[in-house]
Amino acid sequence: MEWKDKYPKNIKPAYNELLEYFSDNIRKLFLCFNEEMNNKFGVWIKWCRYEKTVGWVYGYGRLYRVELLFVVVQSDCFYVLDVAVKDEVSLQNALEKQTFT
């Protein structure tokens, strides 16, 4: 089932539901991405918001309320800055696109 269909606008998914939605491989890639965002760039998932075209997305930020980037969830990958992360190579491509410090 697609993310947008499983969690429509009136059902906000919890973080653990996001992790459960991903296949094992994509979950590992996402956790790697998340750890890199936390440790290297000092940004964390700050909120979840609904986008009409893709469903619930996860916004990363610091202490202030400015979204620096967001993750779009798909059934076979997640998107960050227009990179579909579905393997180690695409994960590295997404991490290399990060420009904030």
Contact (CB, 8 A) for 61 and 49: no
- Helices 24-41 and 88-96 meet at what angle, rounded to 10? 30
* DSSP code string of 46-71: EEEEEETTTEEEEEEE-SSS---EEE
Residues 60 and 45: beta-carbon distance below 8 Å: yes
> What pLDDT, on a 0 to 100 scale, did the predictor assign at position 101?
53
Among candidate residues 89, 62, 84, the one with its CA nearest the CA of residue 72: 84
Q: Please, which pLDDT band fits residue 100 given cuts at 50, 70 and 90? A: low
**Above 70 in pLDDT, residue 12?**
yes
Q: What is the mean pLDDT of residues 95-99?
A: 82
pLDDT tens-place string over residues 16-65: 999 999 999 999 999 999 999 999 888 899 889 999 999 999 998 887 66
> Which residues, in sequence order, are bridge partners of residue 52?
none
> Per residue in 19-33, pLDDT tens?
999 999 999 999 999
Domain boundaries, the chain: 3-96
